[in-house]
Chain A
Amino acid sequence: MSALAEPNGAPIVDPRARRRRLLRRRFLRRPMAVGGLVVVLVFVVMAIFAPWLAPFDPSATDFNATLAHGSARHLLGTDEFGRDQLSRLIWGARASMQVGFLSTLLGMGIAVPLGMVAGYYRGWIDTVIARVTDVLLSFPFLILAVGLAAILGASLLNATLALGISAVPAFIRIARGETLALREEDYIPAAVVNGANDATIIFKHILPNMTNTLLVQATVTIPGAIVGEAVLSFLGLGVQPPKPSWGTMLQDAQQYLAQAPRMAVYPGLAIVFAALAFNVLGDGLRDILDPRTTR
């Protein structure tokens, strides 16, 4: 399409491309956001290419080198079973990213349709959905997740489910609020007079107008879920040893804090950096997607 040219030979500038260029320029002007994106990408690459990046099998023990300091062989040292910490950290990123992205997608998948239905139809269905949401929101996110994980049983999949469901109330509230505002826009009745049905209005006219808000909320939910996964695994409700996860690494480190504090430091730093990077990225996205931003 963009290859088309006007009869006089001037290229058509696709407005979509123009907007993308503008957003990119705004983004690049924000060093924090760029830094956040870089760190996020590093973790994502670690997660995807873990088998190739990790120097050792994360479960392979080496009893000749337990609780070893960092060395050329084991860059970040080893744990009490002589497992390579760097490899475990890289594999742990896989669990964290998987839970972070999947639980957020799950939460959005459940919450956004519910929130939009509540906001669009109002009436009793709105009352039911909104009140239940309020009740769920009165539980702190992690308490809800821990409770659900305890009911579902300990595994990576169940941790994802528990964290995803825990993210639902916040997403419902946002989707409902946005729908309430957007349904009053003049283009909604304009679509109705042109014969649009409810599904068309909800999915074609309301949903695309709230993608920015949902995107920003997602960048807040993902780090929450990453921390949540670590907490659940630490408590034994998530990833089960000997499988690697930042949470289980912290759990292992607990007993050896005096002898080998680095065992806690590295996974701790990984969690902090991952959560911080997503948050900073989210702040940046919110700023550049806000139409009032001029810079």
Chain B
Amino acid sequence: MPAPLLEVADLSVRFDTDDGPVHAVDRMSFTLGQGEVLGIVGESGCGKSVTCMSLVRLLPETATVSGRVVFDGRDLLALPPRQLRRVRGREISYVFQEPMTSLNPVFTVGHQVGEVLRRHLGLSRSAARARAIELLRLVRIPAADRRLDEYPHQLSGGMRQRVMIAIALACDPKVLVADEPTTALDVTIQAGILDLMRDIRERLGTAIILITHNLGVVADVADRVLVMYAGRKAEEAPVAELFAHPQHPYTIGLLGAIPRPYEGEGTRARLQEIPGRVPSLHELPQACAFADRCPRADERTRSEIPPLREVRPHHLVACFHPGEDGA
């Protein structure tokens, strides 16, 4: 197996707040291969976004980040700011959830796409403009050469998200981190954006980290899925394997909570919710974080942190009682 493009090892993130430290991410490790699409799934506040923000040190100063993020042979957590800025947007770029507000209202779309090109690649104004048109075509914006001179408020949400993706792709990055890229968009537009993501991976070979709380989105585009719970990795497996043989009771619970369209007489079962609440991240227990909500919990679950084990080929799970049978 070739060396991974991005290797995250023992990444922990702690926020020091007035109410004491919050452990947002606890010893996360994962890898991302060349051209791979990794889906990171979990509920709000489970640390998926924080994990990805910490890769290129985007967190505020109240965050303490430890561990290693090795990208292309360099530890990004130890890189001086000037070099880090050259990685940001050029080698690792981001697409966020809010396309409506992520563009600067006072500049044209073309200016903002061109800004990245001029900064990282040193293109001239006219070369940047020409390339910006290409990029807008790449993300399938119709009449790209006219859109270039429009201001963000003249574009729809879907179009703006496409512009954000164009900006992210401008310098042909090796990794694209998409943090809930479709959450703020209409369902019909979501499909288009996901389609675009797949297309990008195929045509440009960009590795993608797709953060979402929507397992449907993951099933659609990801190669491998990582399920997070309360700042820790609960389960990790190739996408087909995870959907066919989920092992962690939390994953099983998530899959049970997906609404399924009407599949014939008598199949309209009630959606299963997961009982209980996510534990407070103020004091992560020295135990399985899911123990309080888990039907399989026992003494050991409540006194030890379950280690990750490979229960099936390429299928890692952090649970003392893994298994597919309904939780």
Q: Which chain B residues lie closer than 8 Å to A191 at the CB level? A: 104
- B164 CB–A CB distance under 8 Å: yes
Residue of B nearest to A212 (CB): B106
- Whole-angstrom CA separation of A36 from B81 in the bound complex: 50
Residue of A nearest to B88 (CB): A195
| Cβ contacts B83-121/A at 8 Å (1 or 0 each) | 001111110011010100111111110000001100110
Q: Which chain B residues lie closer than 8 Å to A195 at the CB level? A: 85-90, 116, 119-120
How many of A's residues come within 8 Å of B, CB to CB? 21
- Assess the A15–B101 pair: CB atoms within 8 A: no
Segment of B15-23, B146-154, B194-202, B224-232 engaged in the interface with chain A: B146-154
- Assess the B103–A187 pair: CB atoms within 8 A: yes
- Assess the B150–A15 pair: CB atoms within 8 A: yes
* Pick from A6, A187, A197, A209: contact of B102, CB under 8 Å: A187
- Assess the B89–A14 pair: CB atoms within 8 A: no
Q: A6-B146, A186-B96, A190-B96 are in contact. Are A196 and B119 (CB under 8 A)?
A: yes
Residue of A nearest to B107 (CB): A208
* Pick from A12, A15, A194, A197: contact of B93, CB under 8 Å: A194
- Assess the B149–A14 pair: CB atoms within 8 A: yes
Q: Which chain B residues lie closer than 8 Å to A208 at the CB level? A: 104, 106-107
Q: Which chain B residues lie closer than 8 Å to A193 at the CB level? A: 56, 58, 88-89, 93-94
- B317 CB–A CB distance under 8 Å: no
- Whole-angstrom CA separation of A14 from B86 in the bound complex: 33
Residue of A nearest to B85 (CB): A195
- A31 CB–B CB distance under 8 Å: no
Q: Which chain A residues lie closer than 8 Å to B102 at the CB level? A: 186-187, 190
Q: Which chain A residues lie closer than 8 Å to B150 at the CB level? A: 15
- A51 CB–B CB distance under 8 Å: no
Q: Which chain B residues lie closer than 8 Å to A235 at the CB level? A: none
- A189 CB–B CB distance under 8 Å: yes
* Pick from A6, A194, A209: contact of B88, CB under 8 Å: A194
Q: Which chain A residues lie closer than 8 Å to B69 at the CB level? A: none
- B242 CB–A CB distance under 8 Å: no
- Assess the B108–A15 pair: CB atoms within 8 A: yes
Residue of B nearest to A187 (CB): B104
Instruction: Tell me how far the C-beta of A6 lies from the nearest C-beta in chain B, rounded to whole angstroms.
Output: 7
Instruction: Tell me how far the C-beta of A238 lies from the nearest C-beta in chain B, rounded to whole angstroms.
Output: 38
Within 8 A of B (CB), among A188-225: 189-197, 200, 204-205, 208-209
Besides the known contacts A15-B154, A187-B103, A193-B93, 10 further A-B residue pairs in the complex with CB atoms under 8 A apart:
A15-B150, A192-B88, A193-B94, A194-B116, A195-B87, A195-B119, A196-B89, A197-B85, A205-B104, A208-B107
Closest 7 CB pairs of A and B: A194-B89, A195-B89, A186-B101, A193-B94, A195-B88, A190-B102, A187-B104
Interface residues of A (CB under 8 A from B): 6, 12, 14-15, 185-187, 189-197, 200, 204-205, 208-209
